[in-house]
Amino acid sequence: MFLASTVVPVEIVDAIASEMAVGVDRAVECWMSEIELALTDLHLTSLGRLNAVREIVDEYKRLTGKAQLKSRSIC
């Protein structure tokens, strides 16, 4: 089978990569903001804050389809 190759200008690749990086940055910022709000909510007890963060992590796992997060040792 013959696969045709297409030349894509570097500018297009750079623009796509830049947009993807912005999207990832916004997503991380959103999740971190939610965690920060949970940790600083003065209406919650310490256990309530922990539970709020647990709910955020569980929601992340549900939305991404990840049953378990990777070990921090690979980060």
| Helical segments of 1-75, H only | 10-40, 46-64
Classify residue 65: in a domain, yes or no.
no
Largest Cα–Cα distance in the chain? 64
- Residue 3 reports pLDDT greater than 70: no
Classify residue 12: in a domain, yes or no.
no
Classify residue 52: in a domain, yes or no.
yes
Q: Which domain holds residue 38?
A: 21-57
Classify residue 74: in a domain, yes or no.
no
Classify residue 10: in a domain, yes or no.
no
Q: Specify the number of domains making up the chain.
A: 1
Q: What is the pLDDT of residue 69?
A: 83
Classify residue 67: in a domain, yes or no.
no
What would the pLDDT profile of 41-60 be if each residue is shown by its tens digit? 999 999 999 999 999 999 99
Q: Can you say whether the dihedral through the CA atoms of 67, 61, 53, 36 is positive or negative?
A: positive
What would the pLDDT profile of 21-37 be if each residue is shown by its tens digit? 999 999 999 999 999 99
Classify residue 7: in a domain, yes or no.
no
Q: What is the pLDDT of residue 32?
A: 96
- Residue 4 reports pLDDT greater than 70: no
